[in-house]
Amino acid sequence: MKTIEALPRTLLILLFTATTLLLLPTNSRAQICAGSSLRYVVRDEKGKVIDPTGSYETESRSNVDELKDAQKVLKGVAGNSVRVVRASGMCNFREPVRMTVKLKGEVMNLIFLMPRFTEYESRSFLVDSLPFRTGYFSIDLAGEGETNPAGDWLGSFFPAKGWKHIVPIPH
């Protein structure tokens, strides 16, 4: 009768690996999501698109990004690309995105109301600004938005007409 010691080493490794795989939990929750992004076009008080560098604050992870093919999407754009604020969410935005834009000593407070996402759902948004005004404004991004002529990779386009003036709620 053969003992374990007599079995070839590779067979032992194979048996050990198979046993380990059988004992591992089969319910895996690994998911991949692309991540969500919100691109916001900043405009001055006359409605001209401006570079947002140094004029915005947000609690979300954000940076200034280049929006290519801007003429296909935005009205009144001189060049082919413009600089926009880009906020990012790991898979999605779990809370409304809040942003403050400051221009010439005045403050415009913005709230981007997000749709309810499933845990791993990702979506991208491109939002145009109304001309800069002091006050509080919100836009609801739960709808489909408009088809983006620059391509689906930028997400749905939400024009400036979607912004609503709101009264701030005291904390």
**Domain residues for 66?**
36-166
The answer to whether residues 112 and 141 touch, using CB atoms and an 8 Å cutoff, is: yes
52 within some domain: yes
24 within some domain: no
28 within some domain: no
77 within some domain: yes
d(CA 14, CA 18): 6
11 within some domain: no
Please tell me the total count of domains within the chain. 1
The pLDDT of residue 154 is: 74
29 within some domain: no
pLDDT in tens, 15-69: 566 555 455 444 445 557 778 889 999 999 999 999 999 999 888 888 899 988 8
pLDDT in tens, 120-148: 777 889 999 999 999 999 999 988 788 77
115 within some domain: yes
* pTM, entire model: 0.75
17 within some domain: no
d(CA 148, CA 73): 7
